[in-house]
Amino acid sequence: MKKRIGVYVCHCGGNISDVVNVSEVVTAVKDMEGVAIAKNTLFACSDAAQNEIVNDITSLHLDALVIASCSPKLHLHTFRAVAERAGLNSYNYVQVNIREQCSWAHSYEKVSATGKAIQLVKSGIERVIFSRAMEPFSIPAEQSVMVLGAGIGGMRSAISLANVGLQVYLLEREFFIGGRTAQWGDLSAAYENGPEVVSRLFKQIREHANIHLFIGAELISQSGNIGSFEVKVKIKPRRISGDCDESGFNQAISICPVEVPDDFNFGLTSRKAIYQHYPSEYPAIPAIDDANCNFCGACESLCKSIDLNQKEEILNLKVGNIIVNTGFDPYEPTRGEFGYNEIERVLTLPQFKRLVDISGAGKLNFKGKQIHTITYIFCVGSRQGEEGENQYCSRYCCTTALNTAIIVKRKFADITNIHCTRGIRTYGKQELIYEESSRQGDIFLEFSFENMPVVEERNGKVFVRIKDILTANREMEAETDLVVLITGMVPRRNNNIAQMLKIPTGRDHFFNEIHAKLRPVETVIDGVLIAGTCQGPKNIMETLNSSMAAAAKSAASLSSGTIHLEPIVADVNTDQCTGCGICLTVCPFDAIVTAGPEDKPAVSIVISRCKGCGMCLPVCPEDAIELYGFTNEEMEGMIDGLTSY
């Protein structure tokens, strides 16, 4: 038990003391058993206050520390470092939150807020009396990282990791790299198109000895923990080798009897079961689509590089970290949503961009009709209101739509762009694109969520009707040659990565980071990081920045060859444990395993996997499990402190 405790109550520059009577809190706890010193301080986190605490610990021989201030999320590690500088074990320190939990929560109830603060500080003191000295434990780390997804974000992560000397296994589920960026032509606020960006990154990938690229690869299982993940990867057969000559490939395409809609062009065109999307695509090797190929063998007789008997491969790899950068899918409107899939001349933005990219200069034609007037309807699949599934803004859509409208007007003659928006969100320097769109004569109308535009087809003509907020809800109707639905981003469909890697998802179904500002690329699973649009809508620059952040975080944890982990883990009393196995069923991290001889079964904790969540504690019928840092004595002491008056 601790007998010389130092207690420090922070004013937080008025954030706390404007509501909580700090002096009254100090007076209420200074004579508690075990308290050697109790003080108030203007800013406990300031250098001067930290130095004062260090001096008190050393001169008064304090054996425990309680600081009542802001959330531990902000300064837990700050004050642990203070304790260590003074020679006090950092786990004999407790931080009590009287800002978020008292002064901010009860700003109009000063007396009650002060009373609550007193009880919380008492609770912290009673807890630290039973605290024990602990040390972080270390495990070896593999000097390798697996990156899932070879879009521009995944490639950027791989290059950054390889540049600091780590081995990188870059996995791409499809047969061609580049992700969505490979499908885009001219990019907004850039002087490159999508394939050029992909080509530049792929050149670096190909030339780097530390990067091992696997195409048609899918993660099928993983086990282990940070520093030592054992992963199993399935490689789908491409069925074409790298020496496929162009003439043989072209003959094979011509004779292939299977024709399907081309997903790369969003169904605007068709392709054969043997295919390559565009000449400069990477890898520059065609592929055979097993899902649609009938394996008739006709192509095999024309091209010696085709082998329909290729089998899938299974790779077993060991990596220190896993970075998930699996991208997004464009929102697919429901049938009839603004006429989609019912009116022939209604397209989504991705379809329209591909139409613009594959159309020659001069005139824009669709379904045999020349296009003169294009009406864009914004926020389709985004900002759907409280009842909608996609309540978020997809961020990139406004910029992409306006950039496409500018390109259309430059590339084709006699084009009128009408934008039906819910307010334009071209943030940052992208406002220049909005300005250029306005200067070129584009028409902007604005509608509300309660009065959505109506798309109708009458006598072979398409009309868009809208109540325009900018003209006091005046109802307008325009005949148009093409309607483009500006669709947002949604999480990848049929993605089992979340379940396999135990990555939590948010209400928007994107992968969740621990904290958007403090830990923006980390997940609750140590060693599993996320980046790019798999964690939420981002533009290309934001995706690249996020990907480099994930690479930097991964490299920082692995580069020394040793990983230091928190000692707050579960511990099993094997004398009490009966080996019933109930705890195994509730542990979300697979950190509990069976152990002990057959005549005395028990369980044990794999400390490198344990996150200290405490899920196993309440289900144990024998009370045989305790959590370091949150033992029964500490928790009961906190309860006693909260209930003492």
Q: What is the CATH number of the domain that holds 274?
A: 3.30.70
Q: Does 164 share its domain with 55?
A: no
Q: Give a yes or no: residue 213 inside a domain.
A: yes
pLDDT, residue 25, reads 97
Token digits of residue 14: 């008025």
Residue 47 within a domain? yes
Same domain flag for 269 and 380 = no
> What is the per-residue pLDDT for 244?
63
Domain that holds residue 41: 5-134
Do 554 and 573 lie in one domain? The reply is: no
Q: What are the helix (H) ranges across 492-613?
A: 497-501, 540-558, 582-586
Contact residues for 266 (Cβ-Cβ < 8 A; gap 6+): 183, 330, 348, 350, 351, 354
Q: Are residues 529 and 615 in the same domain?
A: no
Look-up: residue for tokens 């981003």? 489
- Asked whether 102 and 613 are in contact (CB, 8 A), the reply is no
The pLDDT value recorded for residue 249 is 76
Are 356 and 465 found together in one domain?
Answer: yes
Are 413 and 372 a contacting pair, CB within 8 Å? no
- Residue 346 inside a domain? The answer is yes
For residue 639, is it within any domain? no
Return the SS3 of 79: helix
Question: What residue has token string 């203007």?
Answer: 42
532/390 same-domain check? no
Distance separating alpha carbons of residues 45 and 75, to the nearest angstrom: 8
Do 344 and 467 belong together in one domain? yes
Domain CATH number, residue 80: 3.40.50
State whether 12 and 121 are in the same domain.
yes
Domain CATH for 388: 3.50.50.60
Answer yes or no: do 390 and 262 share one domain: no
CB-based contact 56:7 (threshold 8 Å): no
Paired tokens of 446 = 């604005």
Residue finishing a domain among 469, 490, 511: 490
User: pLDDT tens across 383-400, in order?
Assistant: 987 777 899 999 999 999
Shared-domain flag, residues 485 and 346: yes
Do residue 532 and residue 620 come from a single domain? no
Residue 332 in any domain: the answer is: no
Which one of 109, 134, 159 terminates a domain? Answer: 134
Q: Is residue 633 assigned to a domain?
A: no
Establish if 643 belongs to a structural domain.
no
Instruction: Indicate whether 636 belongs to any domain.
Output: no
Structurally, the chain folds into a number of domains equal to 5
Q: Which amino acid is at 365?
A: N
The string of DSSP codes covering 144-188 is EEEEE--BHHHHHHHHHHHHTT-EEEEEESSSSSBGGGGG-SBPT
Question: In the listed set 100, 134, 168, which residue is the last one of a domain according to the structure?
Answer: 134
603: domain CATH number is 3.30.70.20
478 and 408 assigned to the same domain: yes
Token pair belonging to 289? 């689509």
Q: What are the φ/ψ torsions at residue 443 (nearest 5 degrees)?
A: -100, 130
Alpha-carbon dihedral 502, 504, 508, 514, rounded to 10 degrees: -140
The residues of the chain scoring below 70 in pLDDT are: 189, 242-246, 645
pLDDT digits (tens, 9 = 90+) for 40-82: 999 999 999 999 999 999 999 999 999 999 999 889 999 999 9
How much is the pLDDT for 440?
94
